[in-house]
Amino acid sequence: MNPFLFGPESERLFGLYLPPKAGAEKRMGIVLCPPIHQEFLRSRWSLRQVSTQLTRAGLHVLRFDWYGFGDSGGEPTDGTPERWIEDIRLACKELKEISGVSTISLVGMRSGATLAAHAAASGLEIKDLVLLDPVVSGSDYLEGLRGLHRRRWEAFPYPRTSIREEQREEILGFMYNRAQVQAIGGLDLPATPPAVTGGIHWIRTQSAAPVAPPSGWIERVRLSDLQDAAGWDRLESIQEALVAGQIPPAVLNALGVKAV
């Protein structure tokens, strides 16, 4: 393990490089793109499990924190989708320099998957793009979060008021500024899938309202349905860590590497 900071001097990002297990090394690197805000907290443990499996299978892995999240500099309100897409570019560059690999694949979860798709669509050279329950519609995603937030405080034993002002809004423990809300609300999956040298893999957990790939994507993606439920839209799950369950083997399968 090698924890380090990277990116612009005044806006540092936290990264954790995980080298492949000795003797199993493959010449490929994986950048993990976590979700943002509340789902970022929920995803931590499962993405650790994913990265452990990937390094055992011989891959170079970089986990990183978006600007404004985790150990990175800044505050959550400082981030924008444009900034986070740039974070992915910086992370890929850093992983290439640390590991010496020239081939990178992206594994993204929820909004992280959507940002990964945009990074690939903006010209970043990617082998495989693995999307775990990607956010297809930014406005639906935001409304879902607002609904959970509302229900969470309606169920609370005491009446409490969260901030919803002209310039800022509080949703599930995080403050958003208005421009950020608008930008995230507009963060849809690209209309057409990005060009990648490998494949695009869509991994979907169980949900009462499963989200299908958009029409422009159906022909290009390999869809895998898992039996596990992530509970992204469930009030009961908002304070629970996402259990990795079938996610690590599904990611390995998508990347075409054998579990060790």
- Rounded least distance, CB 100 to other proteins, Å: 21
- Rounded least distance, CB 12 to other proteins, Å: 7
- Rounded least distance, CB 209 to other proteins, Å: 15
Q: Where on the phi/psi map is residue 64: left (φ > 0), alpha (ψ -120 to 50), or beta?
A: beta
Nearer to other proteins, 71 or 82 (CB): 71
Nearer to other proteins, 16 or 257 (CB): 16
Nearer to other proteins, 8 or 216 (CB): 8
- Rounded least distance, CB 36 to other proteins, Å: 12
> What are the contacts of 149-153 at 24+ separation with CB within 8 A?
151/235, 152/235, 152/238
Pairwise CA distance, residues 108 & 189, whole Å: 12
> What are the contacts of 97-102 at 24+ separation with CB within 8 A?
98/2, 98/17, 98/60, 98/62, 99/17, 99/19, 99/29, 99/60, 101/27, 101/28, 101/29, 101/60, 102/27
User: Which residues contact other proteins by CB under 8 A?
Assistant: 1-5, 10, 12, 14, 16, 41, 44-45, 48, 63, 65, 69-76, 78, 152, 155-160, 162-163, 170, 172-175, 235-236, 239-241
Nearer to other proteins, 97 or 125 (CB): 97
